[in-house]
Structure 1
Amino acid sequence: MRILHTSDWHIGRTFHGHSTLEALGGVLAALTEQVREQRVDLVIVAGDVFDSATPAAAAYTLLTDTLVALRDTGARVVVTSGNHDSAARLGFQAKLLRDGIHVLTDPLSVGTPLTIDDADGPVHVYGIPFLEPSLVRHLWPDVELRSQAQTLTHAMDLIRADLAGRGGRSVAVAHCFAAGVEPTPHLERDIQQGGLDVVPLGAFDGPDYIALGHIHGRQHLTDRVRYAGAPLHYSFGEGDKPRGSWIVELDAGGLASVQWLELPVPRRLVTLEGTLDELLTDPRFDDMRDAWVSARYTDAAPQPDPMRRLQARFPHCAMVAHAPSVVHADDGRSYAARVREARDDLALVDAFLRHVRNGVGAGEGERDLLRDVIDDQVAAEVRG
């Protein structure tokens, strides 16, 4: 059996204020064509299908169209919910979808597999929807469920118990933060700050393959426990991470092979650094005009209107940060102390500039301009 493992579509997510719906639609169309070309028997989507618990109508349209297109290839499709999804909203249309598309969002169905037969016999697919301990512990009152580790371990215990009676090959699908992962900074939200705590790898013992979701970068934890990551880049922090899916092959004995299948990147992400003048004029940045750009300009002082100026060269510049190449040592004086020490208006303005410009006071040209402005103001007050 050939299985394609994908996850974290995050339909409806924005990228620095820009809609990703069209780009994601193109990538999912490419994924669907790969399913056809690779003669995939089963597509697994391991949670975070939507980016929000209240997705817009266009997000439902893209999901429905993609699921139907995947089913039209001949593959079966299994979808589970993630922490960004509302299980109720994701699962409400499950019974309306055509045969062969399975949306698994009911916690009580964890120990009951979807069984698919191939030439080598049955393959049992156990879908684990996202299980928030505080919301599901009443379903199993005799089990202590205070953490993700306890909750996922209990779910896997139910699967192992069922599998012991059934026998045969098996796959489990879950959405969690597993031990051994290197998360992308500022991207996988609600992981360690009071959100999803770490689930030990031992919790996933049993099935032939564990298809995980939640981490946006490809992760190979063990031969049988993997993250596919998101099909689209959602952060500059993951711009160098490949996008794609795992193709999992099961033979009569269980897991036979796992291969990575690349997806196209609609628009690459780059981080550029230099003075603002270099970013605006240097030829080495010419081939990055069509990329999503995060710009870090290294001028000593903040520059006026950097975003507008950069977007004239890089239309898809989404982030600008001032990152001075020289950081002046803090002399320990507070802004109030600098103000008290100022002996004239020019020194007062210079104190303000040093406070807001990382210790950089007025340059010689700025001082000349400031003197003129102050002199004009003093003259106007005398005339008045």
Structure 2
Amino acid sequence: MRVLHTSDWHVGRTFHGRDLLADQESVLSGLADLVTDERVDVVVISGDLYDRAVPSGEAVEVCVRVLGKLRAAGAHIVVTPGNHDSAARVGAFADFAAAGGLHLCTRTSRLHDPVLIDDEHGPVAFYGIPYLEPDPARHVLNSTAERVPGATGSLRARGHAAVLGEAMNRIGADLSARPEGTRSVVLAHAFVTGGEASQSERTISVGGVEQVPGSVFDAADYVALGHLHGPQRIGEHLRYSGSPLAYSFSEADQRKSVWLLDLDAAGLAGVERRELPVPRALATVCGRLEDLLNEPEYEALRDCYLSATLTDEVRPLDAMRQLQRRFPHAVHLEWQPEEGRATAPLRYSEAVRGRDDRELTDGFVADCRGAPPSESERELLDEALRAIRTAEDS
């Protein structure tokens, strides 16, 4: 059996205010071609199908079209929710969807019930562990313990490791009760120790602890992890596929990809990586605004999403608008003067003590721009101060 491991689609996400739906649909629709070309039997999506619990209508339409293309290409699809999307909404009509080959594993109380898909060697059990928020998950796991084989009973420990450990206890018990030779793939949305985070993941820490040890998942032949956005290998059978698109500038150097794994009669036979297309590259630049606008070396970045750090001694006026004339996809801007900001921060009372209105306004402009106001700016400030005094006296 050949399985394609992907995760963290975050359909509906924006990038610094830019709509990504068209890019997302383009890249994700391309997975259908990969299914056909590589003869993939099952596609697994390990959480964060959507970027938010209540996705827009347009985001839902994109997901419906992409999932339809994957199914039309011949693959079964197994989905579990992450910490961004809603288990209840993703799992709506799950029983009906399963009849069409779309398996939505969203219920904590049933995480030990696998999706069984056969190949020439027998069944492969796909277990979907939805993102487990520790306290609500602990309540559900405790309330169902009496009727679930392998359950601990009363789960007292708090945190991600405890609830994921209990989930894997139940999965292990179910797996051991199945015919010998049944292979297993576990989908899980978690931060496993050894993984490298990006800036675009939402923290899932509880009490300061968000990571779980990889040993929790030892019972599975393969663990398809979601949550971290960079593709990475924690162990031979324990991998993150990462997100299909970059969602922060910290991911600019990542090469987005998916994993293709083969299962033979004995279990995991091999894993290969397939890189995904990049709709629009990300780039970061640092320098004086005049140089960025005029130096030919930056011309290659015209079509990139751009993050710029300006080093001008004085903060340039209308800098983003000027940048976007040359770089239409500039989306992020910072100002860090080369010589730094030498002024130590003061408490408000200290900053205003003994200073009149004119001194305060001049100081404010100098603090924001790194230089005192010009004569024309002083005239505007004086006019504003006069208007305020007039309003107070009336």
Partner residue in 2 for 1:60: 60
What are the residue-to-residue correspondences of 1:167-206 with 2, within 5 Å? 167-168=180-181, 169-185=183-199, 187-192=200-205, 197-206=210-219
Q: Distance in 2 between matches of 1:342 and 1:332?
A: 17
* Cα deviation 1:63-101 (Å, max 9, x = unaligned): 122112111111111011111111111111323435221
1:154 lines up with 2:166 in the alignment: yes
With over 3 angstroms needed to count, the CA separation of the structure-2 counterparts of 1:278 and 1:115, relative to structure 1, is: same
Q: Distance in 1 between matches of 2:345 and 2:83?
A: 46
Confirm or deny: 8 A CA contact 1:339 1:351 kept in the other structure.
no
Q: Secondary structure at the match of 2:297?
A: helix
Matching residue's letter, 1:321? E
Q: Secondary structure at the match of 1:221?
A: strand
Q: Secondary structure at the match of 1:140?
A: helix
Confirm or deny: 8 A CA contact 1:335 1:351 kept in the other structure.
no
* Cα deviation 1:179-237 (Å, max 9, x = unaligned): 1111113x111233758711111111111100010111112101110100100111111
Deviation at 1:337, TM superposition (A): 6.1
Partner residue in 2 for 1:301: 314
Q: Distance in 1 between matches of 2:258 and 2:48?
A: 15
What are the residue-to-residue correspondences of 1:1-384 with 2, within 5 Å? 1-97=1-97, 98-141=99-142, 142-144=154-156, 146-166=158-178, 167-168=180-181, 169-185=183-199, 187-192=200-205, 197-330=210-343, 351-357=363-369, 360-362=370-372, 369=375
Q: Distance in 2 between matches of 1:12 and 1:233?
A: 13
Comparing 92-101 with 59-68, which one deviates more in the overlay?
92-101
TM-score by length of 1: 0.88
Q: Distance in 1 between matches of 2:2 and 2:197?
A: 28
With over 3 angstroms needed to count, the CA separation of the structure-2 counterparts of 1:25 and 1:332, relative to structure 1, is: closer
With over 3 angstroms needed to count, the CA separation of the structure-2 counterparts of 1:68 and 1:337, relative to structure 1, is: closer
Deviation at 1:361, TM superposition (A): 4.0
Comparing 112-121 with 273-282, which one deviates more in the overlay?
112-121
* Cα deviation 1:94-132 (Å, max 9, x = unaligned): 234352211111112211211211122221111111222
Structure 1 regions of 5+ residues with no counterpart?
none
Matching residue's letter, 1:235? S
* Cα deviation 1:258-296 (Å, max 9, x = unaligned): 111001010011111110111111111111111111111
Q: Distance in 2 between matches of 1:344 and 1:130?
A: 55
Structure 2 regions of 5+ residues with no counterpart?
143-153, 387-394
Confirm or deny: 8 A CA contact 1:80 1:105 kept in the other structure.
yes
Matching residue's letter, 2:8? D
Q: Distance in 1 between matches of 2:364 and 2:331?
A: 29
Aligned length: 369
With over 3 angstroms needed to count, the CA separation of the structure-2 counterparts of 1:372 and 1:2, relative to structure 1, is: closer
Matching residue's letter, 1:159? I
Matching residue's letter, 2:175? L
Q: Distance in 2 between matches of 1:106 and 1:330?
A: 55
Matching residue's letter, 2:190? C
Confirm or deny: 8 A CA contact 1:190 1:196 kept in the other structure.
no
Matching residue's letter, 1:130? Y
Confirm or deny: 8 A CA contact 2:41 2:74 kept in the other structure.
yes
Q: Distance in 1 between matches of 2:357 and 2:54?
A: 58
Q: Distance in 2 between matches of 1:82 and 1:292?
A: 27
Confirm or deny: 8 A CA contact 1:3 1:41 kept in the other structure.
yes
Identity %: 44
* Cα deviation 1:117-156 (Å, max 9, x = unaligned): 1122221111111222222323332222521111110000
Deviation at 1:28, TM superposition (A): 0.6
Confirm or deny: 8 A CA contact 2:48 2:81 kept in the other structure.
yes
Matching residue's letter, 2:80? T
Comparing 136-145 with 25-34, which one deviates more in the overlay?
136-145
Q: Distance in 2 between matches of 1:50 and 1:189?
A: 13
Q: Distance in 2 between matches of 1:19 and 1:373?
A: 41
Q: Distance in 2 between matches of 1:107 and 1:352?
A: 54
Confirm or deny: 8 A CA contact 2:109 2:141 kept in the other structure.
no
Matching residue's letter, 1:161? A
Confirm or deny: 8 A CA contact 2:134 2:160 kept in the other structure.
yes
Q: Distance in 2 between matches of 1:36 and 1:90?
A: 26
TM-score by length of 2: 0.86
Q: Secondary structure at the match of 1:203?
A: helix
Matching residue's letter, 1:102? H
